[in-house]
Each structure stands twice: as structure tokens, then as C-alpha cells.
């Protein structure tokens, strides 16, 4: 299959680009498009065969449900059987934006493979002009996971999508680099107090300001059977080719680790804020200013991907601050590292 990448900026005939994308989706094909978090790979959420193509293109396990994207927030009762006051308040406060709400799905609305057979569905309205225009013109809900090969870091540029899915999908809408850089916050509103299943751009503090108590499972105890688990958590995620190790944010610890890796004749890539730059590292990727997690989030996946273009044997990543969107960065890094910490 030939993969076409169409740029949607001010210099092109946008109507023609959107029309092509809408026609592809209506004919049961998949289309990659930008959102404010990461690029998504979309199919019409009521078309089971189209949705199956998402799983096939990504190599995604079928028991990992997809997020459904909508272009407006007024008619949500077309999709869900009930909605709590807290969920409504969060939609008012955060849509369009990086918040996915898990709600009770109305039976027989979505294709069964969208929800992986669950009675609940994840819904979000993305805050990106290209995604919103596409959803508006299409007039249908779009199921879309991140547009990467399963297990790889999520794509924050159309070129990342092209690298992973070239020849596997027909069309990529190229709207430039995404803003936030990590996926939406997923919150389960079928329980009270609501539970954060995946931290993201809408932080726990932001949610609490609107709805009071929210449960934030401690990411380091995900093996505890009492902790609610997001489907798909058991699979490898965000993983570059070389193994990732988390290391404490400390100049001496990083220095010692690099020395010890070099003693083994291995090469090391370091992902760290500017404050922890180390000239001995064979490659250094800056996560920006340590006090600015938004900047780190914006660069995180591009840097993890860039490690695949180096000859690094080991990737060291310093521990981010866990405040604000830092919680989401920490969560993704723990998965990228598969729980591995560097001990010199
Ligand atoms: O920012 C985002 O959310 C991006 C963009 C494209 O919108 N999408 C995204 O989708 O990250 P994906 O498939 O990579 O992550 C979806 C995750 C699933 O792995 C699962 O953990 C959770 O959302 N999820 C979806 N439906 C669910 C459900 N019914 N119950 C619990 N968790 C669900
Ligand atoms: Mg994903």
C-alpha cells in the first residue's frame, strides 16, 4: 500500500485535503491525524472492519481498547448510557483537551473491537484544529489510538508516523509537531471517586480543582491486585531498541553510571534536563529546563525515537520531577524502562 502524507498548513487547499481524508474514512480506511497530544490513527468507530485495520496496521493486541474521538461535547448521550455530574463538570472544564473519560457505553453503538468487549468506552474531544475540522466534516466518532507501531514511543510528528506505518496505512494528515507530547489523561468515571488510569496533560491537581477527590494510583505498585488497572498496561510501551534505565537526578550518579558503562565498552545515550548534561555521554538529548515538565513532555518521545538512530547500547534517563505533567512523564518512562533502574 502506498502511504500519502498531506500537509495541512495555511499554504495548501485545506478543503481538498480534508475531503480526501473524509472519503478515506467513509470508505472504511484508516487515516493518521494530529491531535494536541500525539498523532492518532483513526477509523470510524462504528465500522468494525475499519477498526480492525487499526489493530492490524499497529500490530496492536486486540484486548487493548481504543479511545473514541468526538468533534463536539453536546450530544454525548448518543454514545453513553449515563453521565455523572462530575464527568459533566470535567467535560465543561477540559474539553476540547487532553482528558479521556471512561463512561458506560450505550450498547450496540460502537463496534465491539473499539472497546475490546468492555461495557465502558473512553471518550475525548481533542484540542487541535486539524483533528476538530476532520471530526466536524466527517460527523462520526473516530476510534484512534496513537499512530505508532505497538510498543514504540507515540508519534509527535507526521514523520514519526511515516517511519512506523509507511506502507501499512493509506493517508497521513501532516499538521506539524504536536503540542503537549504525551497522551491524554484517562480517568475512570464509572467509579466514585473517579480514578486516574493514565496520567497526562490534565493533571491530578487540575481535576481535583473541579471535582474534589480523585484517586491517583501509585505507579510503582501496579502489581498490587487492589490497584485498578488500565487495559493494555501489561504490554511493552514507548520502548526504543536499546534498553532504557532510569537513574536518579544527580550529577555524580550519572557520571558514575557513564563511567561504568564505558568500562564495559558500551556506548550510552543520556536523556536529561540541561542541568544534568554530561559531556562523557556518547549522545545527549536535552529534556529542557528541569523545572519545566511541559518542555520535557514536548520532547520526550522524539528523543526516545532519536536514540534508535544512534549506536547506543544503553539509554539512561534521569528521573523527572513528579509534579504537574511530570507525573505523566514519570509514568511513560517507567514503562519505557520496563521498571529498570540503574544501580552503579
Ligand atoms: O492522547 C491520546 O489519548 C491519544 C490521542 C491519539 O488521542 N490516544 C491514545 O490512545 O493514547 P491509546 O490507544 O494509545 O491509549 C488508549 C488507552 C488504552 O491503552 C487503555 O489503557 C485506555 O486508553 N482505555 C481505552 N478504553 C478504555 C476503557 N473502556 N476502559 C479503561 N481504559 C480504557
Ligand atoms: Mg498508544
Q: Percentage of the chain with pLDDT > 70? A: 97
Which pTM was predicted? 0.96
Question: pLDDT tens across 24-37, in order?
Answer: 999 999 999 999 99
> Dihedral angle at the C-alpha atoms of 121, 118, 47, 53, nearest 10 degrees?
100
Closest protein CA for atom 7 of ligand 1: 40
Query: From the CA of 212, how far away is ligand 1's center (Å)?
Result: 24
| SS3 label, residue 40 | strand
Q: Please, how many CA atoms are within 13 Å of residue 314, restricted to the half-sphere of its CB?
A: 22
Show pLDDT as tens, one digit a residue, over the chain (344 residues). Answer: 999 999 998 777 899 999 999 999 999 999 999 999 999 999 999 999 999 999 999 999 999 999 999 999 999 999 999 999 999 999 999 999 999 999 999 999 999 999 999 999 999 999 999 999 999 999 999 999 999 999 999 999 999 999 999 999 999 999 999 999 999 999 999 999 999 999 999 999 999 999 999 999 765 444 444 444 677 777 788 999 999 999 999 999 999 999 999 999 999 999 999 999 999 999 999 999 999 999 999 999 999 999 999 999 999 999 999 999 999 999 999 999 999 999 87
The preferred substitution site among 183, 190, 199 for testing ligand 1, maximizing ligand atoms within 8 Å of CB, is 183
Q: Ligand 1 — pocket residues by CB below 6 A?
A: 35, 37-38, 40, 64-67, 98, 100, 102, 115, 118, 120-122, 126, 144-146, 183-184, 186, 197-198, 230-232
For residue 228, say if its preceding peptide bond is cis, omega within 30 degrees of 0: no
Neighbours of ion ligand 2 (CB under 5 A): 146
For residue 122, the ligand 1 atom closest to its alpha carbon is: 26
Confirm if 168 and 57 have CB atoms less than 8 A apart: yes
C-alpha 303, offset from chain centre = 15
Q: Which residues are CB-contacts of 96 (< 8 A; sequence separation ≥ 6)?
A: 36, 73, 125, 126, 127, 128, 132
For residue 200, the ligand 1 atom closest to its alpha carbon is: 1
- pLDDT reported for residue 225: 47
Task: Using DSSP bridges, classify how beta strands 171-174 and 142-143 pair: parallel, antiparallel or unpaired.
Answer: unpaired
Nearest ligand to the C-alpha atom of residue 183: 1
Q: Which residues are CB-contacts of 178 (< 8 A; sequence separation ≥ 6)?
A: 34, 35, 36, 37, 38, 39, 128, 156, 157
Query: From the CA of 244, how far away is ligand 1's center (Å)?
Result: 23
Give the domains, in start order, of the chain with CATH numbers. Answer: 4-211 (3.90.870.10), 244-337 (3.40.50.11030)
| SS3 label, residue 123 | strand
Amino acid at each position: 500500500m502506498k502511504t500519502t502524507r498531506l500537509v495541512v498548513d495555511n499554504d495548501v487547499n485545506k478543503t481538498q485535503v480534508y475531503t480526501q481524508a473524509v472519503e478515506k474514512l467513509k470508505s472504511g480506511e484508516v487515516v493518521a491525524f494530529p491531535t494536541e497530544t500525539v498523532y492518532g490513527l483513526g477509523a470510524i468507530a462504528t465500522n468494525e472492519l475499519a477498526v480492525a485495520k487499526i489493530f492490524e496496521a499497529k500490530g496492536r493486541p486486540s484486548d487493548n481498547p481504543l479511545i473514541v474521538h468526538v468533534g463536539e461535547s453536546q450530544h454525548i448521550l448518543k454514545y453513553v448510557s449515563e453521565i455523572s455530574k462530575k464527568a459533566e463538570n470535567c467535560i465543561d472544564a477540559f474539553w476540547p483537551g487532553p482528558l479521556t473519560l471512561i463512561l458506560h457505553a450505550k450498547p450496540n453503538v460502537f463496534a465491539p473491537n473499539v472497546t475490546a468487549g468492555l461495557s465502558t468506552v473512553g471518550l475525548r474531544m481533542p484540542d487541535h484544529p486539524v483533528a476538530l475540522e476532520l471530526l466536524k466534516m466527517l460527523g462520526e466518532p473516530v476510534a484512534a489510538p496513537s499512530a505508532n507501531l505497538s510498543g514504540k514511543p507515540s508519534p509527535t510528528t507526521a514523520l514519526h508516523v511515516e517511519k512506523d506505518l509507511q506502507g501499512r496505512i493509506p493517508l497521513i494528515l501532516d499538521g506539524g509537531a504536536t503540542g503537549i507530547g504525551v497522551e491524554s489523561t484517562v480517568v475512570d468515571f464509572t467509579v466514585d471517586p473517579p480514578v486516574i488510569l493514565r496520567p497526562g496533560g490534565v493533571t491530578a491537581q487540575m481535576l481535583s480543582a473541579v471535582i474534589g477527590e480523585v484517586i491517583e494510583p501509585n505507579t510503582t505498585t501496579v502489581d498490587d491486585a487492589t490497584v485498578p488497572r488500565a487495559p493494555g498496561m501489561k504490554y511493552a510501551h514507548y520502548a526504543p531498541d536499546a534498553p532504557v534505565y532510569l537513574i536518579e537526578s544527580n550529577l555524580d550518579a550519572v557520571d558514575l553510571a557513564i563511567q561504568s558503562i564505558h568500562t564495559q565498552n558500551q556506548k550510552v545515550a543520556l536523556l536529561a534536563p540541561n542541568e544534568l548534561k554530561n559531556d562523557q555521554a556518547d549522545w545527549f538529548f536535552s529534556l529542557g529546563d528541569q523545572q519545566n515538565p511541559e518542555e520535557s513532555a514536548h520532547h520526550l518521545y522524539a528523543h526516545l525515537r532519536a536514540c534508535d538512530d544512534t549506536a547506543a547500547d544503553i539509554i539512561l534517563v534521569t528521573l523527572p520531577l513528579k509534579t504537574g505533567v511530570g507525573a505523566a512523564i514519570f509514568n511513560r518512562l517507567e514503562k519505557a524502562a520496563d521498571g529498570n533502574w540503574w544501580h552503579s
